[in-house]
Amino acid sequence: MSNFDIKAKTFASRTGKCCVGAMEIPAEETDALVHSIQKYMGEEFDQDISPLKARLLLNYVWDEVAPFAYNAGVKDAQEFTRARNEELPDTVFRDGLNYWRNR
């Protein structure tokens, strides 16, 4: 077993999770993703891989690719919030000094 395999096995057994920085996948979802990766590799590449190898692949993709999807989500949220903030004055602000105007 390589040093890399030992390191990954220790991480996987210690946490049961896949995580990068503050982004973390719960253990149950990690297990489902590992199973999905194993199934995909078996069906698409005719390659049976162990749960450890599938977890290593998941960790790699999570570390390398997930930040792009995360950042796209943040950008979408920023644009959504910006658009709603621009509408805010028209939807929630009210004029004052209405007492005499309404009589």
Q: Give alpha helix (H) positions in 16-65.
A: 27-45, 51-64
Residue 7 exposure: Cα atoms within 13 Å on the Cβ side: 5
Q: Residue 97 carries which DSSP code?
A: -
Q: Is residue 4's pLDDT more than 60?
A: no
Which whole number is the average pLDDT over 91-102?
84
Model pLDDT, residue 74? 94
Q: pTM value?
A: 0.63
The domain locations on the chain are 3-68
The residue-averaged pLDDT of 87-94 equals: 82
Q: What tens digit of pLDDT does each residue of 14-49 get?
A: 566 565 556 788 999 999 999 999 999 999 999 999
